[in-house]
Amino acid sequence: MKHIFLNLKRFDIPPEFGGVNRLAPVAEWGSTIVSSVQDKLKEFGGTEFAVFFPELHILPAAAAKKEDSPLLLGCQSIYRADTAVGGNFGAFTANRTGNIMKAAGCDYVIIGHCEERNDKNGILEAAGISAPEAVDRILNAEVKMAEKAGLKVLFCIGEKDTELDNWDEVLTRQLKLGLDGVNMENVVIGYEPVWSIGPGKTPADKPYITKAARLIKEVTGGADVVYGGGLKTDNAGMLASIDEIDGGLIALTQFTGEIGFYPDQYIDIIRTYLG
C-alpha cells in the first residue's frame, strides 16, 4: 500500500504572528483543510492518507470528516505514559496522551520527527549530556503508548550532516532501540535525511534514498518506508520511481512568495506522485 502523510507542523499561525496560515481563521483552519481535500482524495484508490494536525485542530477536523472520508487524522507525538483503568486518571499536565488523542478522533500519530528529536536532545544537552540512545528509548516508550491506545504510528528516523560517515549505524540504532518490542503491523517508517532538508541544502538524490530505504526494510523485516524529507512536485517523479519507497510526507506546498500549505497544491503533488 502507498501512504501519503501530511505534517502540518505549526502552520496554523497567521502571518501577523510570523506564521504562514493564509488559509482560514485559526478556529476554522482544521475543518477547512479536511473539507477542502477529503472528496478529492477519493480518486486515488489503494492509498492511505493521514494528516497530522497540531492538537488544537483535532476536534474541528474530526467534526468536518464525512462518514465516507478517506482521510485519517493524526496528532504530533504523544506522551510516554497514559491513563489506565484503576491507575493514573489524568495527572499529565502539559502532556498529550495517546488515549485522549484516540478519544478525540485520531487514527495516527507521528513520533520521532527530527524536530521532536532535536527538542529532546536539546533538553539533554542543556544538562551537559549527549545521549541519542536515551532519546531513542524515550521515543520507544511513546510508540508503545500509541500501540496501547490503538493508534497507528509514523515513526521517523534520519541522520544529520555530522553522521554521514556512519549513517547506516545511526539509522539501525534508531530503528532497533526506537521499535524494540513493538508490533510492526501498524508502523510505517518515515525516512528523513536531516542533512539534506532545509533552505540552501542539497537534496538527497535517488541512489542515496534508495540505499537508505533498502537498509530500513532489511532492519525492520520489510516495513513500509515513506520519504520524510519532503514530498513535493519537484521530487515526486523521482520518488515514485524508487521501488523501496512506499509514499511520502508532505509539509509546505509553496516555498516561494506567500509560502505555506494550500489544499489544491497538496492534491497536485499527490496526483504527480501517484501518476
Q: What's the pLDDT score for residue 24?
A: 98
> By the 8 A CB rule, do 14 and 58 touch?
no
Percent over 90 (pLDDT), the chain: 99
Which residues lie across from 248 on neighbouring strands?
Answer: 4, 227
Integer-rounded Cα Rg, in Å, for the chain is 18
Residues 91-117 have pLDDT tens digits of 999 999 999 999 999 999 999 999 999
The residues assigned a catalytic role are 113, 192
Q: What's the pLDDT score for residue 198?
A: 86
Q: Report the domain count for the chain.
A: 1
Q: What's the pLDDT score for residue 200?
A: 84
Query: Does the pLDDT value for residue 176 go beyond 90?
Result: yes
Query: Does the pLDDT value for residue 175 go beyond 90?
Result: yes
192/158 Cα distance (integer angstroms) = 5
User: For 9, left (φ over 0), alpha (ψ -120 to 50), or beta?
Assistant: left
Residues 197-253 have pLDDT tens digits of 988 899 999 999 999 999 999 999 999 999 999 999 999 999 999 999 999 999 999
Q: How many CA atoms lie within 13 A of 62 on its CB side?
A: 17
User: Which residue range forms the structural domain that includes residue 22?
Assistant: 2-274
Query: What CATH number does residue 196 fall under?
Result: 3.20.20.70
> By the 8 A CB rule, do 108 and 150 touch?
no
Q: What's the pLDDT score for residue 199?
A: 84
